[in-house]
């Protein structure tokens, strides 16, 4: 009887699907992190809070409209990613402008409309913005320059927030010699499928 029981247990264990591993370009949090309360403003001048994260997956990317390469390339890839995963899960793409001084409401609206007008283009003053960015595991810094001529260093990674408003993963960019560091579309789609299935 004991041998039969052990045999049955072994069959059950072998038949259980083991959790899949994500790629080396994704940092998956074993315990998703609840985000602190925040307040941002979108391209339509609407206040955006934690409630906007609930009920769907959210991909958050930092940038600014004067960015010459990483931002437009990544947003174009996010548009592709969004079209591919829309048949799997409900998702929202966020462009978080870390240059509130120059990126006015209208400028953000025009800029994001080029990629997908359904995307959120949010920002706020640095006092509110910096703690939010740090909370989602990313970072930015304003470099010295004139009032109108400066550039912004920012993470090229994408934060993934689950439908409960928790930070679940960070998608990291690829660093290839002679190329601008950007995320890999296929890696993100495949890793997102693995992560979302666990919910």
Cα(20)–Cα(103) distance, integer angstroms: 40
Model confidence at 186: pLDDT above 50: yes
Q: How confident is the model at residue 146 (pLDDT cuts 50, 70, 90)?
A: low
DSSP state of 171: E
Closest CA to 70 of 192, 179, 193: 179
What average pLDDT does the chain have? Answer: 88
Cα(156)–Cα(15) distance, integer angstroms: 39
Q: What is the pLDDT of residue 116?
A: 95
Using the structure block, give the residue that is written with the tokens 């039969």: 4
At 57-95, the pLDDT tens digits run 999 999 999 998 999 999 999 999 999 998 889 999 999
Phi/psi of residue 146, nearest 5 degrees:
-75, 175
Q: Please, what are the domains in the chain? A: 33-197 (3.40.30.10)
At 9-28, the pLDDT tens digits run 343 333 333 346 899 999 99
Q: What is the pLDDT of residue 163?
A: 97
Q: What is the pLDDT of residue 143?
A: 80
Q: Which helix (H) or strand (E) holds 104?
A: none
Q: What is the pLDDT of residue 4?
A: 43
Closest CA to 21 of 8, 11, 12, 30: 30
Q: How many other CB atoms sit within 10 Å of the CB of residue 186?
A: 12
Q: What is the pLDDT of residue 148?
A: 72
Model confidence at 153: pLDDT above 60: yes
């Amino acid at each position: 009887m004991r041998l039969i029981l052990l045999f049955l247990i072994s069959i059950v264990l072998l038949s259980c699907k083991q959790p899949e591993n994500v790629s080396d370009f994704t940092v998956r949090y074993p315990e998703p992190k609840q985000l602190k309360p925040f307040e941002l403003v979108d391209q339509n001048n609407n206040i955006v809070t934690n409630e906007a994260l609930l009920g769907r997956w959210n991909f958050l990317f930092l940038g600014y409209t004067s960015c010459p390469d990483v931002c437009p390339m990544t947003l174009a890839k996010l548009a592709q990613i969004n079209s591919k995963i829309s048949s799997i899960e409900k998702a929202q793409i966020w462009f978080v402008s870390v240059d509130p001084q120059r990126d006015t409401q209208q400028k953000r609206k025009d800029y994001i409309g080029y990629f997908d007008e359904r995307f959120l283009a949010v920002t706020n003053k640095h006092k509110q913005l910096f703690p939010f960015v740090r909370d989602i595991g990313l970072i930015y810094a304003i470099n010295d320059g004139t009032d109108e001529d400066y550039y912004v260093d920012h993470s090229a990674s994408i934060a993934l927030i689950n439908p409960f408003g928790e930070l679940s993963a960070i998608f990291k960019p690829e660093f290839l010699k002679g190329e601008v560091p950007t995320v890999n579309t296929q890696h993100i789609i495949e890793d997102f499928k693995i992560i979302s299935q666990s919910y």
